[in-house]
């Protein structure tokens, strides 16, 4: 009995030592999954732009238009357009999109984000005024680390909005995509490609602008 208790004690100690490392590996894996997905989205948007000449989703008449939901279930959203087959009925008849050559993205589900969170959208909107101070939830992105948006005024902008995201998850992704950008917590939340809103547990990641 004493020997069995000793063995169980050793096992308990080993589990206590190994468990944090297991969680660390899992957390890194989730962050890497999101980063890999971001690169896939960026490539899809570039291919879409090469064919369409715009990064905005096409409306029913084949005209690029801003669409703020970014939800995959909305047929007018950018993720819905990126995953649309060229032969889809939406792309036939008098309103066919001649240069459309989808799908540009194999799959995108708003309720099944890669890595972490429960909701992800790809939003196509207008950028804020060039040179304005960037905030955690605005449509300006600062790439040269001076606290001001580097996007041209009224440029078309595409970004990810992912929720809910914990601070430690933001820090992992930020460390990969924005290494070296921002020195304080506040600066890291507002600058670079990755922005974080602590209040709403919201991660916003830049994908493209034109």
Answer for the pair 58, 104: CB distance below 8 angstroms, yes or no.
no
In Å, how far are 1, 61, 116 from 202, measured between CA atoms? 53, 33, 12
Q: Give me the mean pLDDT over the 149-162 stretch.
A: 97
How many residues does the structure list for the chain?
A: 210
Rounded Cα distance, 81 and 91, in Å: 10
Model's pTM, two decimal places?
0.88
Whether 187 shows a pLDDT value over 60: the answer reads: yes
How far out from the chain centre does Cα 101 lie? Answer: 23
**What is the pLDDT at residue 21?**
54
**What is the pLDDT at residue 2?**
63
- For the chain, give the percent of residues with pLDDT over 70: 86
Task: Please provide the DSSP assignment of 103-122 as one string.
Answer: -SSS---TTS-SSS-SEEEE
Whether 25 shows a pLDDT value over 70: the answer reads: no
Give the tokens for residue 98.
Answer: 């001649």
Answer for the pair 56, 209: CB distance below 8 angstroms, yes or no.
no
Rounded Cα distance, 140 and 209, in Å: 11
Give the tokens for residue 121.
Answer: 């959208």
Whether 22 shows a pLDDT value over 50: the answer reads: no
**What is the pLDDT at residue 169?**
95
Rounded Cα distance, 131 and 151, in Å: 8
> What's phi and psi for 123, nearest 5 deg?
-100, 140
Q: Is 22 exposed, middle or buried (0-12, 13-18, 19+ CB in 10 A)?
A: exposed
In Å, how far are 20, 33, 81, 102 from 98, measured between CA atoms? 54, 34, 14, 11
Rounded Cα distance, 92 and 76, in Å: 16
């Amino acid at each position: 009995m004493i020997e069995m208790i000793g063995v169980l004690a050793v096992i308990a100690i080993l589990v206590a030592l190994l468990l944090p490392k297991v969680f660390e590996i899992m957390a890194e894996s989730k962050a890497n999954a999101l980063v890999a997905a971001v690169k896939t989205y960026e490539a899809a948007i570039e291919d879409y732009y090469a064919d369409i000449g715009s990064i905005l989703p096409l409306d029913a008449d084949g005209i690029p238009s801003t669409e703020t939901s970014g939800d995959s279930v909305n047929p007018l959203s950018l993720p819905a357009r990126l995953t649309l087959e060229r032969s889809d009925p939406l792309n036939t008849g008098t309103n066919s999109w001649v240069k459309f050559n989808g799908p540009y993205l194999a799959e995108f589900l708003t309720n099944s984000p890669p890595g972490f969170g429960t909701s992800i959208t790809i939003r196509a909107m207008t950028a804020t005024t060039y040179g304005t101070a960037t905030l955690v939830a605005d449509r300006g992105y600062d790439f040269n680390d001076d606290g001001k948006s580097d996007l041209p005024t009224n440029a078309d902008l595409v970004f990810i909005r992912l929720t809910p995201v914990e601070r430690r998850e933001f820090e992992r992704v930020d460390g990969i995509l924005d290494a070296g950008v921002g020195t304080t917590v506040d600066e890291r939340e507002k600058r670079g490609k990755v922005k974080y809103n602590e209040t709403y547990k919201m991660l916003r990641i830049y994908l493209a602008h034109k």
